[in-house]
Copies of this chain bind each other. A is one copy, B any other.
Amino acid sequence: MSQKNLTISDVAKTAGVSKSTVSLALQDSPKIKPETRKKVMKAAKKIGYVYNRAAANLRRRSSEMIGMVINDLTNPFFAELAVSLERSFTDSGYVVMMANTSEDTHQQDKVIRTFCEHGAAGILICPVFGTTQSDLDPHISRGVPVVSVMRPIDGGECDYIAPDNINGTLAVTQHLLEQGMTRLVFLGGLPHTPVYQQRLNGFTAAVQKAGIKAENIEVIPCAPTQEAASIAIEKRIKQGEPPQGIVCYSDIVAFGACFGLDRAGLKVGQNIAVTGFDDVMACSAFSPPLTSVHVFTDQLAKLAADSLMQRLKNTDRPFSNQSVLPKVIVRESSRLAVEN
């Protein structure tokens, strides 16, 4: 049955050299003559040898593997971010393994522990809301660095990379205000989360600066899902005079809002303006194309990956928070007909 695993020794035997030579050859060591190396490679290919990285890492006491922990892969924004992150790491020669936590703390604990048990060199995490440093500690091997993206870790001894949420919603709200709108809604998001606070703060700052009267401003939180958002906005529209513009917590919320408004008989981009946040790919293909706050996902991913890789080289540098200034991308959903 030859169930036996093929090892470096088997390669050595077929190539007629020693174990050590094979090992060095596989690592492209200059101590091995190119000719010998070729011979080794050929032997390896011939018998179908597959490197055992676990064994290597055991001896070498380090790895190139980084564990990526994502809160919700069914959210297009996080999926796009995850893909970007993965690319950043693999471009630098690291190996990425990914796991989804479905916004569940237990699942999150489990996957972090699993990654550490498998010898991850570092952890990149989009944490579940409310994650604290002491949630993570027991599962992380000593010395394994953590970098968090998008959401902070409470008491976190780690680097943290996120878009500048405040200035993002500030800018997009100003974009609506500049068109002369005076009755605005901030829609979506979970009130107890820091990201919500920041995005709402940006919105509030903009309307206050513009001197808008408080009674013309509404804040309608809801779960950041299409369904919740569409229901919430539909309900609001039924209750009375509609606002002129809706600044949404995220693109997903904005999509939901558009569907809800459509059902309520309002025309987004004509009777009413809607803006998103994140600028996922679907924004531009949407109808009407959705104005959104572009957060430079690729840039966030690159910063996050770089932070983690820096820290792998140099454990004891101070922790840093980095934020990326987003940019408003104006599309049709926020252009109103002149009248009304």
Contacts and interface: CB of A to CB of B under 8 A. Distances in A.
Interface of A: 2-3, 5-6, 45, 48, 50-55, 57-58, 61, 65, 73-74, 76, 79-80, 82-83, 86-87, 90, 95-100, 102, 107, 110, 113-114, 116-119, 138-143, 225-227, 230, 255-256, 258-260, 262-263, 281-282, 284-287
A247 B340 CA distance: 38
A221 to B, nearest CB: 18
Nearest to A77: B74
A97 B100 contact: no
Q: Lowest 9 CB-CB distances: which A-B pairs, in order?
A: A259-B287, A226-B285, A54-B54, A97-B97, A53-B117, A262-B287, A50-B141, A98-B98, A227-B285
Contact of A226 (B2, B100, B282): B282
Residue from the set A87, A114, A118 with the largest chain B CB neighbour count within 10 Å:
A118
A61 B3 CA distance: 11
A101 to B, nearest CB: 10
A79 B74 contact: yes
B284 A259 contact: no
Nearest to A259: B287
Given A48-B142, A50-B117, A263-B287, A98 B100 contact: yes
Contact of A58 (B2, B55, B74, B116): B55
